[in-house]
């Protein structure tokens, strides 16, 4: 069996990675929206 601490840290890492991806997506979305806001 995999130790609980290891699976826990893996879950945290996965979550952080996902959150970073969401942040990047939001930033790129803002960049896409920005030009239309300037027009």
Structure tokens, 16: 């952080």
More confident: 11 or 5:
11
Angle among Cα 23, 26, 35 to the nearest 5 degrees reads: 145
Residue 18 has pLDDT above 90, yes or no: yes
Please write the tens of the pLDDT for every residue from 20-39: 998 888 888 877 776 666 65
pTM of the complete model: 0.54
């Amino acid at each position: 069996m995999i130790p609980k601490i290891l699976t826990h840290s893996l879950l945290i890492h996965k979550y952080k990675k996902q959150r970073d991806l969401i942040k990047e997506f939001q930033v790129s979305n803002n960049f896409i929206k920005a030009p239309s806001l300037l027009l």
